[in-house]
């Protein structure tokens, strides 16, 4: 029954009538059903990270699971009992986040409701997306595109050749990882195509900043065992531009996947989009590991040719550069942009060699919100 005696409560000295009704919910229709209220779960930065639907949900007809992949209007969810369901999303759920390209993304923890009236098997409806502890996002068509959610490591993959190394793009991924508080690992693939010493100047800068850098080759097997050890027991996403060998690396890390790969275009040295959607891949238990134990997941993602940061204003960019951050508050002017001012500690640090000149150039590009390289 809904509460009606607000006046009486107030007269008896309640501090706030609002406190008595803030958590009120409509009761369900019966013991097996409950009414959900439309609400968003907000993270500290104000982004909506979880949703509920104001529809009757049969508690005996629901399952909890993990979103494996999203294809258009349909998502594939693996439930806790190991079943995979093809799911749609309730329309009211879609309307809760107008800034998102997709409400549901790979890596989400979700609640699904089975549809007993469906003509097909293993079909369900997503009725809830749980709070996301983190996410990798970019701006796409003025909306937030969440690439993946709820991961422990992000492998930022680039290549030594075919296509060539793009350090500024890697820096953008690093800023996104810093913002999301996800541990980044830089992977320079295809090192069999170049002399490794040629990569040391740029790789050394990242290493000195505390970012792990792994040199790999899926041809010779270099670095693959090191990555294989890092992913055990963790949820890891592999991201980077097209053609750098992300899918080939997954095939090397997890034998038996046999994911489709393509070659790089000889005309423009750009990769072909073999992976069309982010896909959560459960790792296979090794010998001696219990099948029911969580051994981790790998997330294969489509290649990215540009990466425009989401929800990062120009004044915040420097704070996500660990090499620039110590000098920000020692400039003469508190509103210094560190780009054109004369008495700027950041520019002095660049001149003195305390900040790498290429990294500073990368900062300036992001400060001006330059999407393309």
Which segments of 165-212 does DSSP mark as H helices, in order?
A: 167-180, 200-208
**What per-residue confidence (pLDDT) applies to 61?**
83
In a shared domain, residues 291 and 318: no
**What per-residue confidence (pLDDT) applies to 56?**
53
In a shared domain, residues 290 and 146: yes
In a shared domain, residues 120 and 227: no
The Cα 100–Cα 303 span in angstroms is: 20
| Strand 213-215, strand 153-159: pairing | unpaired
For residue 269, tell me if it sits in a domain.
yes
The Cα 49–Cα 149 span in angstroms is: 10
**What per-residue confidence (pLDDT) applies to 278?**
86
In a shared domain, residues 165 and 284: yes
In a shared domain, residues 293 and 151: yes
Q: Which domain holds residue 97?
A: 30-129
Q: Which one of 107, 129, 151 terminates a domain?
A: 129
Number of Cβ within a 10 Å radius of residue 14: 13
For residue 243, tell me if it sits in a domain.
yes
Give the max Cα distance, the chain: 81
Q: Which one of 243, 277, 300 terminates a domain?
A: 300
For residue 1, tell me if it sits in a domain.
no
In a shared domain, residues 154 and 238: yes
In a shared domain, residues 110 and 141: no
**What per-residue confidence (pLDDT) applies to 160?**
93
Q: 296, exposed or middle or buried, with CB in 10 Å at 0-12, 13-18, 19+?
A: middle
Q: Which one of 129, 163, 188 terminates a domain?
A: 129
In a shared domain, residues 164 and 202: yes
Q: Locate tokens 């309730």: which residue? A: 90
The H or E element spanning position 26 is none
Q: Locate tokens 């439930």: which residue? A: 79
CATH of residue 43 = 2.40.50.140
In a shared domain, residues 153 and 121: no
The Cα 369–Cα 373 span in angstroms is: 11
Is the Cβ–Cβ distance between 112 and 62 less than 8 Å? yes
For residue 19, tell me if it sits in a domain.
no
The Cα 179–Cα 319 span in angstroms is: 9
In a shared domain, residues 345 and 242: no
**What per-residue confidence (pLDDT) applies to 57?**
55
Q: 63, exposed or middle or buried, with CB in 10 Å at 0-12, 13-18, 19+?
A: middle
Return the closest-CA partner of residue 187 out of 209, 216, 210, 163.
Answer: 216
**What per-residue confidence (pLDDT) applies to 19?**
45
The three-class DSSP label of residue 227 is helix
For residue 92, tell me if it sits in a domain.
yes
The Cα 362–Cα 370 span in angstroms is: 10
Per-residue pLDDT tens digits of the chain, which is 373 residues long: 455 554 455 445 544 434 443 444 433 444 444 444 344 445 555 554 554 443 455 566 889 999 999 988 899 999 998 899 999 887 666 566 556 767 899 999 999 998 766 666 789 999 889 999 999 998 888 888 899 999 999 999 999 988 889 999 999 999 999 999 999 999 999 999 999 899 999 999 999 999 999 999 999 999 999 999 999 999 999 999 888 988 888 888 887 776 766 554 444 444 444 566 888 988 887 766 555 556 789 998 887 877 889 889 999 999 999 999 999 999 999 999 999 999 999 999 999 999 999 999 999 999 887 544 3
In a shared domain, residues 124 and 152: no
Quick one: residue 338, left, alpha or beta (phi over 0 = left, psi -120 to 50 = alpha)?
left
Q: 266, exposed or middle or buried, with CB in 10 Å at 0-12, 13-18, 19+?
A: exposed
**Domain count across the chain:** 3
The Cα 12–Cα 55 span in angstroms is: 36
Q: 129: which DSSP letter?
A: E
Is the Cβ–Cβ distance between 94 and 267 less than 8 Å? no
Instruction: Please count the helices (runs of H) and the strands (runs of E) in the chain.
Output: 9, 17
CATH of residue 363 = 1.10.40.50
CA torsion, ordered 53, 59, 60, 62, to nearest 10 deg:
30
In a shared domain, residues 177 and 244: yes
CATH of residue 166 = 3.40.50.300
Structure tokens at 64: 């909890």
């Amino acid at each position: 029954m809904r509460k009606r005696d607000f006046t009486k409560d107030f007269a008896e000295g309640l501090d706030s009538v609002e406190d008595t009704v803030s958590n009120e919910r409509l009761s369900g229709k019966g013991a097996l059903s409950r009414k959900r209220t439309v609400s968003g779960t907000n993270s500290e930065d104000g982004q909506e990270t979880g949703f509920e639907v104001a529809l009757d949900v049969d508690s005996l007809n629901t399952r909890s699971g993990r979103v494996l992949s999203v294809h258009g209007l349909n998502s594939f969810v693996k439930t806790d009992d190991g079943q995979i369901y093809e799911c749609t999303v309730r329309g009211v759920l879609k309307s809760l986040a107008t800034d998102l390209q997709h409400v549901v993304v790979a890596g989400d923890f979700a609640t699904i409701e089975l549809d007993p009236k469906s003509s097909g098997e293993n079909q369900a409806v997503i009725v809830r997306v749980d709070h996301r502890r983190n996410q990798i996002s970019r701006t796409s068509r003025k909306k937030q595109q969440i690439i993946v959610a709820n991961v422990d490591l992000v492998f930022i993959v680039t290549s030594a050749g075919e296509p060539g190394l793009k350090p500024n793009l890697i820096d953008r991924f690093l800023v996104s990882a810093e913002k999301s508080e996800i541990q980044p690992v830089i992977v320079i693939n295809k090192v069999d195509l170049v002399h490794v010493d040629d990569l040391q100047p740029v790789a050394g800068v990242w290493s000195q900043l505390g970012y792990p850098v792994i040199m790999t080759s899926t041809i010779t097997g270099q670095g693959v065992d090191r990555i294989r050890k890092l992913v055990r027991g963790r949820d890891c996403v592999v991201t980077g531009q097209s053609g750098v060998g992300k899918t080939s690396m997954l095939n090397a890390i997890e034998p038996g996947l046999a994911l489709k790969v393509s070659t790089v275009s000889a005309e423009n040295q750009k990769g072909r989009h073999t992976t069309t959607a982010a896909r959560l891949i459960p790792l296979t238990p090794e010998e001696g590991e219990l099948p029911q134990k969580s051994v981790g997941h790998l997330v294969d993602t489509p290649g990215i040719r540009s990466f425009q940061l989401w929800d990062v204003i120009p004044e915040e960019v420097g704070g996500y550069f660990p090499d620039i951050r110590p000098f920000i508050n020692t400039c003469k002017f508190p509103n210094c942009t560190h780009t054109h001012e004369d008495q700027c500690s950041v520019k002095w640090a660049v001149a003195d060699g305390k900040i790498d000149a290429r990294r500073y150039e990368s900062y300036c590009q992001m400060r001006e919100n330059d999407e393309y390289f």
